[in-house]
Structure 1
Amino acid sequence: MKPKPEQKGSGLHAVKWALVDKFGAQLVLLVNMLVLARLLSPEDFGLVGILYIFLSVASALVDSGMGEGLSGNRI
């Protein structure tokens, strides 16, 4: 089955936008952390860092499907 002419570049286009999305989110996070580092005391910034680690792990669990498994929702 041959791809249609309008589908030829769509996969590569989607990969490009996914990379822009990931790197854009990381850039926003970096700028956010730099601003917080300037505004907060070292102790408070450390607490924010610990909270960010906790939220990252929780987000990874939800993205992997753990949220649906814990809530009991079936497909």
Structure 2
Amino acid sequence: MEENRAAPKLLVSLRDGCQLTVPPASVDAVRAEGLAAEAMNARDAGREAGCGSLLNEALALRRGEPLAGVSTS
């Protein structure tokens, strides 16, 4: 939890739940999409080695099943 609960910055209480507010770059899925886009740009520019490195970096962000352990009830 945050140090200053009176003025939360990351986890904000809403009427019907909570909202996690983080910079987009700290979300693995968003970062992976950005890396994939960079990889395609590298490919289009003829930099195949750079393309492979970027795709490997994107794939390395995946760890386990998405939302594993999150209850839907």
TM-score range, shorter chain: 0.3 to 0.5
> What TM-score, normalized to structure 1?
0.34
TM-score, normalised with respect to structure 2: 0.35
Tell me which structure has the larger Cα radius of gyration: 1
User: Greater helix share, 1 or 2?
Assistant: 1
- Structure 1 or 2: larger strand share? 2
- Report which structure shows greater RCO (CA 8 Å, sep ≥6): 2
